[in-house]
């Protein structure tokens, strides 16, 4: 190649390269999506996870891939997000898979099971323990691709108008509770209700329900449950580390450029990290404020925890006969859980049990 020709080609190559750098932005299509959230806007931890996804995706695609996030009831009711994604009303939805246990109980494992995994263990199962693949096979039946997109950490046990001292006190209790926990508590006499976030306060205020659980101090204070119920129980044994997920219509997903798919997947992972960090950073102050305002903190009596745990594992044994997906996913989940418990019992529990109870750290003299 002659030097002049080479330079010309090099210059051409350089020019093409100069265009190619922003070529992702220039040659990729402008795409607009909508995310239907199951949550109200005022919950700036949980709702904000979907907003973070939208913002980050726009930033890394030079605003070519734009997503608008709609709160519960703006496009569809909070508990119908899966259907909206499945039938293509929206391209994606930010929701809790366990809202859909009525379709298949195996959806619960996409969020959490009572007496299951904490947030770290759940992420370990999803990302490295076969959980992503296991859940994907279920969601495929609904035309959905998914990514973990937020976690609250272990939740509180909810708000009660009256104290719950014995297992017998649960009998007839009208309790707003999500996922399979309602079925577990039904075995103990609770009348479980599934009500979307925005409607819980009113139901508790009117006395349509006797008790309600949502998430933890930061959200619960915002939703005002302390104004209509005095007793705040812990821990939320049904939600040790619940995942929120981004459900994506599989055809819309397949039609996305690869770079946009990567942007979306990566933004979801970021949101998954940030929601948990945000809850952890916000909860202490909110709990202090609630207690200062008269909220009565109560641990669940051990007898209730024991009875609930027994009922939970009885239910899991039954569900294998009701759902092929449960039968397929649960054994691997359970094995993973048992191995995690074995490990966490050593270093994590050894550390935590000393750290949170030592006299030096509790302020005890």
Q: Which residues of the chain form contacts with Ca ion (CB under 5 A)? A: 155, 213, 239
* Closest separation in Å from C-beta 321 to Ca ion: 27
Q: Which two tokens stand for residue 234?
A: 């812990």
* Closest separation in Å from C-beta 213 to Ca ion: 5
Question: Do residues 98 and 242 touch, judged by C-beta distance below 8 A?
Answer: yes
In the bound state with Ca ion, the residue whose beta carbon lies nearer, of 155 and 283, is: 155
In the bound state with Ca ion, the residue whose beta carbon lies nearer, of 129 and 157, is: 157
In the bound state with Ca ion, the residue whose beta carbon lies nearer, of 195 and 329, is: 195
In terms of phi and psi (left: phi > 0; alpha: psi -120 to 50; beta: otherwise), the region of 8 is: alpha
* Closest separation in Å from C-beta 162 to Ca ion: 20
In the bound state with Ca ion, the residue whose beta carbon lies nearer, of 54 and 112, is: 112
* Closest separation in Å from C-beta 236 to Ca ion: 6
In the bound state with Ca ion, the residue whose beta carbon lies nearer, of 33 and 99, is: 99
* Closest separation in Å from C-beta 361 to Ca ion: 28
Question: Do residues 175 and 192 touch, judged by C-beta distance below 8 A?
Answer: yes
* Closest separation in Å from C-beta 268 to Ca ion: 21
User: 191-193 and 174-176 as β-strands: parallel, antiparallel, unpaired?
Assistant: parallel
* Closest separation in Å from C-beta 177 to Ca ion: 7
């Amino acid at each position: 190649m002659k030097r002049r020709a080479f330079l010309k080609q090099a210059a051409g190559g350089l020019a093409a390269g100069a265009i190619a750098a922003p070529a992702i932005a220039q040659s990729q299509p402008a795409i607009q999506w909508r995310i239907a959230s199951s949550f109200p806007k005022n919950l700036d931890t949980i709702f904000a996870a979907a907003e973070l996804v939208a913002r980050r995706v726009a930033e890394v695609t030079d605003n070519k891939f734009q997503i608008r996030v709609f709160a519960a009831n703006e496009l569809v009711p909070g508990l119908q997000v899966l259907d909206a994604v499945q039938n293509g009303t929206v391209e994606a939805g930010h929701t809790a898979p366990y809202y859909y246990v009525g379709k298949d109980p195996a959806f619960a494992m996409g969020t959490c099971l009572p007496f299951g995994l904490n947030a770290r263990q759940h992420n370990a199962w999803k990302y490295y323990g076969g959980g992503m693949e296991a859940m994907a096979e279920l969601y495929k039946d609904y035309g959905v691709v998914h990514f973990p997109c937020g976690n609250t950490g272990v939740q509180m046990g909810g708000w009660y108008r009256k104290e719950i001292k014995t297992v017998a006190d649960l009998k007839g209790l009208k309790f707003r509770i999500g996922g399979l926990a309602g079925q577990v508590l039904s075995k103990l006499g609770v009348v479980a209700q599934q009500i979307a976030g925005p409607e819980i306060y009113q139901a508790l205020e009117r006395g349509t329900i006797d008790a309600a659980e949502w998430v933890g101090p930061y959200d619960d204070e915002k939703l005002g449950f302390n104004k209509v119920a005095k007793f705040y129980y812990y821990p939320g044994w049904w939600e040790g580390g619940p995942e929120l997920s981004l459900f994506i219509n599989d055809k819309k997903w397949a039609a996305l450029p690869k770079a946009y798919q990567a942007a979306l997947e990566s933004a979801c992972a970021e949101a998954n990290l940030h929601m948990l960090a945000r809850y952890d950073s916000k909860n202490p102050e909110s709990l202090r404020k609630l207690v200062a305002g008269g909220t009565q903190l109560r641990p669940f009596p051990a007898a209730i925890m024991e009875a609930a745990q027994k009922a939970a594992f009885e239910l899991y044994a039954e569900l294998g006969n009701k759902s092929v997906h449960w039968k397929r996913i649960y054994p691997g989940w359970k094995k993973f859980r048992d191995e995690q418990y074995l490990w966490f019992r050593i270093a994590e529990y050894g550390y935590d049990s000393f750290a949170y109870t030592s006299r030096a750290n509790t302020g005890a003299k």
